[in-house]
């Protein structure tokens, strides 16, 4: 990354995002992914099982989410039967590795929600 004015040196890439990681997080932390992952972490699910578990999601979005997660190797699509079509979605080993980071994130959110809501109210007041 071009350090236009090198007055005091550049930062090491500790927090560096910009390219590939940012894009990955977009794919994997999008609107419905965490809900889906949450379900599949507990048990394999059929398509409509997921719909019922996550009532707010539409067919289209759920399909898109599952395809995206599948493409990234996070979930696996298993054809159980082709006569009356039956499909099951499972989390992959790679998908399971997402849990700890996500848990940490959620714990952060839970822990600081009150403080953040206070900040919002204060900000909105002005």
Contacts with DNA, residue ranges (CB under 7 A): 30-32, 46-49, 56-61, 63-64, 66-67, 77, 84-88
**78 belongs to the binding site for a second copy (CB under 8 A):** no
Site string for a second copy, 98-117 (x = CB under 8 A): xxxxxxxxxxxxx-xx-xx-
3-class SS string, the chain: CCCCCCCCCCCCHHHCCCCHHHHHHHHHCCCCHHHHHHHHHHCCEEHHHHHHHCCCCCHHHHHHHHHHHHHCCCEEEEEEECCCCEEEEEECHHHHCCHHHHHHHHHHHHHHHHHHHHHHHHHHHC
Which residues have a Cβ under 8 Å from the Cβ of 100 and sit 6 or more positions away?
none
Among 6, 60, 79, 125, binds a second copy (CB under 8 A): 6
Among 34, 47, 87, 88, binds a second copy (CB under 8 A): 34
- Please give the structure tokens belonging to residue 32: 């419905």
86 interacts with, out of DNA, a second copy, none, CB within 5 to 8 A per kind: DNA
61 interacts with, out of a second copy, DNA, none, CB within 5 to 8 A per kind: DNA
Residues at the interface with a second copy (CB under 8 A) = 1-2, 4-8, 10-11, 14-18, 20-22, 24-26, 29, 31, 34-35, 37-39, 41-44, 52, 54-56, 70-73, 91, 94, 97-110, 112-113, 115-116, 118-120, 122-124
């Amino acid at each position: 990354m071009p350090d236009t004015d090198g007055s005091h040196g550049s930062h090491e890439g500790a927090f560096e995002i910009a390219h590939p990681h940012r894009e990955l997080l977009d794919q994997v932390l999008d609107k419905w992914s965490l809900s889906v992952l949450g379900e599949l972490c507990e048990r394999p699910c059929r398509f409509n099982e997921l719909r019922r578990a996550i009532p707010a999601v539409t067919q289209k979005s759920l399909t898109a989410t599952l395809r995206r997660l599948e493409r990234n190797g996070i979930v696996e699509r298993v054809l159980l039967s082709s006569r009356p079509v039956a499909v099951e979605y499972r989390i992959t080993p790679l998908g399971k590795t997402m849990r700890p980071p996500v848990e940490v994130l959620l714990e952060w959110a839970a822990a600081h929600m009150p403080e953040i809501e206070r900040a919002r109210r204060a900000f909105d007041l002005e």
